[in-house]
Amino acid sequence: MAGHSGTPELKFTHESLPQRVIFDSYAAAGHVAAEVDRLGARRPMLISTGTTIEVQGAVRHTEVVMHVPVEVAERARARAAAEAVDVLVAVGGGSTTGLAKAVALTTGLPIIAVPTTYAGSEATAVWGLTDGGGKTTGTDPRVLPRVVVYDAGLTLSLPVPLSVASGLNALAHCVDSMWAPRADPINRAFALEGARALNTGLPTVFDAPSDLEGRENALYGAHLAAVAFASAGSGLHHKICHVLGGLFNLPHAPTHAVLLPYVTALNEFAAPALAAAFGTPTAVEGLLSLQKRLDAPRSLRELGLNETDLPAAVDGVLPAVPAGNPAPIDRPRLAELLHRAWEGTDPR
C-alpha cells in the first residue's frame, strides 16, 4: 500500500548455513559409516579422545587440547597430510570439533561432527586458535561440518557438572543471539526455542542423568542455539569469554556459565521476549534460578581467575566489544561487570 513503510523488525537479510543434520539416539556409528560412504571418502581421520564410536579404517588422532593451540593444530594437519586423509570425523566436545575445524581451515577436508556435549561448535562456521596467550577467531565456510550426527545416547556418560556447564554454554549462544551484530527475527526465534528446550532439559539431566528425554531436549536446544549463533554472530558475552579463555586459560563452558547473567542484566532491555523462555518476569531471574537449580559455578574467582588479573582482562575485552551492543560499554562499566562476575555478586 502506498505510504506504508512496513514493520521495521521485518526488514532483514538472513542466511542459513548448508548442513545435513541427523538426530537419532543410539545410532551414531551406523549413520557415520553411511555418511562417510555418501561423501565418497575412503580414508577417515577419527579425532577423539575416547572410544565412543569406531569408524572402520580410520586413522585415530587423540591429541585434543582446549582452545586449540596453534602447535596442536599444526600436528593434526601434518598427520592428515601424511595419512592421505579425505574426511575428518570429530567425536567429542567443542575442543574436538574445534581441532577438526583447524585442520579443515587449511586443507578443505569435509567434517562429520558427532557432538558428545552441548557446545554447539558443530553447527557454526566459526573457528578459533590460541597462540601466545591470545585467541584468534574467524568465520570460514570450509570449517562448517558437512554433516552433524546427534546421538543423545553418547551424552549419557558426560558427568553432570560438565553437562551443566556445557548446557549453560549453549544457553549463552541463545542469549547472545538476541542482540548480536546480525540478530534478526529468524535467529531470535531459533534462540528462544533453544533456550526453552535447554531450560526444560538441563534440570532433568541434573536430577536424572540417565534419562534420555532430558538429554535429547538439551541436545535439541543446543543445536538450535548454535544455529542461531552462527547466523547472529558473536556478541558481547562471547567476546568477553574468548578473551578470558585466551589470556587466562579459563575453562570454556564454566566461564560462559558464570558470565551469562551479568551480560544479560546489562542488555536484557533490548530483548524482553527472552524472559518467556524461562517463564519468569525477567530473563536474569530465569538464569539465576536455573544456575541455582543446577548448582552451576557462580564466580570467576572459583574458576581460578585472580583479582589482580581483572585490569588486564578489561584491557583485552574493551577493543573487542561489538559496536552495536545495546548497552553502551566503556572502561568503568566493563570493569564493574567483570569485578561483579569475579565476586559472584547478584548481577541485578
The predicted-structure confidence for 117-131, as pLDDT tens digits, reads as follows 998 899 999 899 998
More confident residue, 14 or 44: 44
- Which tens digit of pLDDT belongs to each residue from 171-190? 999 999 999 989 999 999 99
| Under 8 Å between Cβ of 143 and 129 | no
Mean pLDDT score of the chain:
92
- Contacts for 20 with CB less than 8 Å, ≥ 6 apart: 35, 146, 147, 148
- Which tens digit of pLDDT belongs to each residue from 85-103? 999 999 999 899 999 999 9
| Under 8 Å between Cβ of 275 and 174 | no
DSSP-assigned letter for residue 258: H
How do beta strands 147-150 and 111-115 pair? parallel
pLDDT, position 166: 87
For 229-258, what is the mean pLDDT? Answer: 89
Burial (Cβ within 10 Å: 0-12, 13-18, ≥19) of residue 300:
buried
The residue written with cell numbers 545435513 in the block is 20
Distance, first Cα to last Cα, the chain: 45
Give the span between the Cα atoms of 259 and 112, in whole angstroms: 31
For 221-244, what is the mean pLDDT? Answer: 92
DSSP codes of every residue in 53-87: S--TTPEEE----TT-BHHHHHHHHHHHHHTT--E
Sheet holding 111-115, edge to edge: 20-23, 147-150, 111-115, 87-92, 44-47, 59-61
Structural domain boundaries in the chain: 20-155, 160-343
Left, alpha or beta for 72 (phi > 0: left; psi -120 to 50: alpha)? alpha
Give this prediction's pTM: 0.86
User: Looking at the predicted structure, is the pLDDT value of residue 1 above 60?
Assistant: no
> What is the separation of C-alpha 84 from the centre of its chain, rounded to a whole number of angstroms?
30
Size of the chain in residues: 348
Give the span between the Cα atoms of 234 and 176, in whole angstroms: 7
- Which tens digit of pLDDT belongs to each residue from 26-61? 999 999 999 999 999 999 999 999 877 889 889 999
pLDDT, position 11: 75
pLDDT, position 253: 81
Regarding the domain with residue range 160-343, which homologous superfamily does it belong to in the CATH classification?
Dehydroquinate synthase-like - alpha domain (1.20.1090.10)
% of the chain surpassing 90 pLDDT: 76
- Which tens digit of pLDDT belongs to each residue from 267-297? 999 999 999 999 999 999 999 999 999 998 8
Give the span between the Cα atoms of 156 and 154, in whole angstroms: 6
What is the chain's Cα-based Rg? 20
Spelled out in words, what is the top-level CATH class assigned to the domain 20-155?
A: alpha beta
Query: In which band, very low, low, confident or very high, does the pLDDT at 324 lie, cut at 50, 70 and 90?
Result: confident
Lowest model confidence (mean pLDDT) among 15-19, 154-158, 159-163, 300-304: 15-19
